[in-house]
Structure 1
Amino acid sequence: MSQLRTVLLTLATLTVLGAVAGFATVLFGLFNTSARSGHWAVTDWAMHTIFENAVALRAPPEAEVPDDLSDPALIELGARHYDSACAMCHATPGTSGGATIAAMVPPPPQIDRAVTPWTAAQMHWIVEAGVKMTGMPAWPAEGRADEVWAVVAFLTAVQRGMTPDDYAAMTAPAAEGYCAGCHGAGGTSRAPRLDILTPDYIADQLAAYRSGARPSGMMAHAAAKVPASGDAELAAALARLEGPAQSVPADPAAGEALAARGNGRVPGCLACHGPDNRNPRIPSLDGQGEAYLVDQLTLWRDGARGGAERAPLMRAAAKGLSDADIAALSAFFAVR
């Protein structure tokens, strides 16, 4: 019994001393936070091992990986966002990030190396969740897995050997300005046409993106580049912007009856978005991109879309739609 008491007393003493040492380290700044000293080798190993295991544990199942990651339009959408929001740390294919980025602790891996060990599902989790203690942020908006998949589509293209010339051609600035890179005539069909929308509606959406009322990591980043006082002027210019070319749906007629049909107290799509719409704050859907409409209707159905004056009505209208219904409606409006 005496020996047990001695062991317990020793453990208690060591615990108290450890707590005092830890408190003193925090209170008196004894731990050197300078990035010049870097991490111990064992710290690097522990952090990277924890990171790898965390990704393996939490990445979505491979069955959830979309089938269209090789879609050039989706790759371009992801590449353009990456070029604006991520390339400053991870550089671009075939280039380095420079001396300042290399001095970070830990340094962000160059993009060609960064994508090497991961599956598409694992990269999705990394981009969406971010990585603590590395400077890698989480995706700026929750519920936008579709946007994250666009970035993953680009990253998988890098894995397949994207060249510097390929990247430069894909992310080349548009003559009409930054927004036209995605929304202009030479942009990506995964971005919406703006020439069929009113300046009032576009200005409303810019404000909603900036405030977070309409969640979007891509558009929150883009909207932050423009002061709120410039929304009206920018919206007027964007409404005149010729939109990207769109593919022609295979079966546009399948959604016609669905677009006209209401659901209880919820009117059919054409009641608000049809040719008789005169409300400048309700978007026209005629001629909008099919893939974009699929994404937006899915977000409405799943409760992840906001930023609209009639958001509750749209959520109710989309709530019961199946994937087949969404595909049919999107094809119908894309060719009207």
Structure 2
Amino acid sequence: MRLVLLTLAALAVCGVIATAAVVGFGLYNVSARQGHLPGVGWVLHTTFKQSVRLRAPEAKEVPDDITSPDRIKLGALHFQSACAFCHAAPGQPRSATALSMNPPPPHISEAVLQWEPQHMFWIVEQGVKMSGMPHWPADGRGDEIWSVVAYLNAVPDMTAQDQTALAGDGSGAVRCSACHGEEGKSVNTYVPRLDILTPDQITQALVQYRDGTRRSGIMQEAASGLSDAQIDRIAGRYGVAQVASAQAADAAETDHAGARLAMRGTDAVPACTQCHGPGRAADAPIAPVLAGQSRAYMESQLKLWRDGQRGGGVRAKLMTKAAQNLSDAEITTLADWFAGLAPAGDGK
């Protein structure tokens, strides 16, 4: 028995020495051109598949609007900007550079076939070690990830023409107007209208996205390479200078639950209209007007405020406190009411 133990100990020491030699002297060839030793690729890919299936959320977590055209559109535009370089898009080939990676990223039309939406959510959110697949840049933004998953879920039935209709031909960077509309008048409920914001508000948001103080995987990707001058040009192009004074008229009293909550508040929730209009003073502190803003966008932002995930500028704590006692139902009815109001002057 003693001999067996000594033998095992000696083998363990030899194993440690051999491992140290491989690492310390660079004996293992990490060349992507060389590829893996036989069997290593199978081990890694099998580990990947089993790990995803173990850790992915349950199917009941998939949102009911996973087939929403607006979700699919937003996901397609972000995918074209951030993901298509490696995975291509329906009807498009992968680049020679992407194919030279080891392992090569699968074409998106093939990659989605083995996964359900909840699995794709986990992969997009968490990324995959040793594969070049990054995790989602922003914590706590499952609402954005589900839009990407909505697109991925639609890919198997998508033609090259469908892809072009959703995200363009892929010949250049996705512009602001692709998501927000040519004049900032977004018609996508998940994307905010810019034409009812001031240039200062747009500038603040873009700087916060660029610096990472406001979390959004989609907008941090879009803003990460912007210079101050580019941000100023974007803000001037889409923003309107007189939003505050244009909101001077009070909203009519109605029986809408969202109107009552927004205009009167409760013991636990302050009245939204005091800062966000309609009816706020023209010289009120900078706060975006909400009349006519995109419904699903407002709903997601209020949930982020309530849950302490929103981030932002110096006033972020004010909105976190204001929203902390809102229920999901109250958030939905507030978003419904504000979205149903006509923007002052219909934007510009």
Q: TM-score, normalised by structure 2?
A: 0.88
Residue 33 of structure 1: which of 26, 30, 35 is its match?
30
- Whether 2:254 is the aligned partner of 1:258: answer no
- Whether 2:202 is the aligned partner of 1:202: answer yes
Alpha-carbon separation, structure 1, partners of 2:234 and 2:110? 38
Match for 2:306: what amino acid?
A: R
Unaligned runs of 5+ in 1: 241-250
Relative distance call for 1:267 and 1:322 in structure 2 (3 A) is: closer
Deviation per residue, 1:129-184 (Å, 9 max, x gap): 0000000000000000000000000001103x111100001112899x71000001
Deviation per residue, 1:67-110 (Å, 9 max, x gap): 00111111000000000000000001022203221121101000
Aligned-pair distance for 1:49?
A: 1.1
Alpha-carbon separation, structure 1, partners of 2:230 and 2:19? 51
Alpha-carbon separation, structure 2, partners of 1:252 and 1:173? 47
- Whether 2:116 is the aligned partner of 1:119: answer yes
Alpha-carbon separation, structure 1, partners of 2:158 and 2:285? 42
- Please state whether the residue corresponding to 1:36 is helix, strand or coil: coil
Q: Which residue of 1 aligns with 2:159?
A: 163
Aligned-pair distance for 1:187?
A: 5.9
Deviation per residue, 1:174-215 (Å, 9 max, x gap): 99x710000015763321000000011111111111111110
- Whether 2:131 is the aligned partner of 1:128: answer no
Residue 276 of structure 2: which of 259, 273, 279 is its match?
273
- Whether 2:306 is the aligned partner of 1:301: answer yes
Q: Which residue of 1 aligns with 2:105?
A: 108
Relative distance call for 1:57 and 1:123 in structure 2 (3 A) is: same
Question: Is this contact kept in 2: 1:180–1:187, CA < 8 A?
Answer: no
- Mapping for residues 149-188 of structure 1, pairs under 5 Å: 149-159=146-156, 161-172=157-168, 178-185=175-182, 188=188
Instruction: Judge which range, 185-194 or 134-143, deviates more.
Output: 185-194
Alpha-carbon separation, structure 1, partners of 2:27 and 2:191? 52
Alpha-carbon separation, structure 1, partners of 2:120 and 2:205? 29
Question: Is this contact kept in 2: 1:201–1:280, CA < 8 A?
Answer: no
Alpha-carbon separation, structure 2, partners of 1:150 and 1:252? 33
Q: Which residue of 2 aligns with 1:317?
A: 322
Q: Which residue of 2 aligns with 1:326?
A: 331
Deviation per residue, 1:14-35 (Å, 9 max, x gap): 1111111111111111111111
Aligned-pair distance for 1:279?
A: 3.9
Q: State how many pairs are aligned.
A: 322
- Please state whether the residue corresponding to 1:116 is helix, strand or coil: helix
Match for 1:70: what amino acid?
A: T
Q: Which residue of 2 aligns with 1:7?
A: 4
Q: Which residue of 2 aligns with 1:75?
A: 72
Unaligned runs of 5+ in 2: 241-253, 342-348
Alpha-carbon separation, structure 1, partners of 2:78 and 2:43? 32
Match for 1:34: what amino acid?
A: S
